[in-house]
Amino acid sequence: MQTAPRPSEKALRLHNALCRICFQTAYYRPDAESDKETE
């Protein structure tokens, strides 16, 4: 296995943005919470 090159600041920023989006859709879904409340 090759050692991956150090990610640039730009790549890290993009990665963090994507992570935030993923976490928001996974953990902060208002529709999922409202569905639980109605049941």
Please determine, for residue 13, whether its predicted confidence score (pLDDT) is greater than 70: yes
Q: Where residue 10 falls among pLDDT bands split at 50, 70, 90? A: very high
Neighbours of 3 (CB within 10 A): 5
What pLDDT score was predicted for residue 33? 55
pLDDT at 19: 81
Tokens of 17: 């943005």
On the question of pLDDT at 21 being above 70, the answer is: yes
- The residue length of the chain stands at 39
- The mean per-residue pLDDT over the stretch 10-39 comes to 70
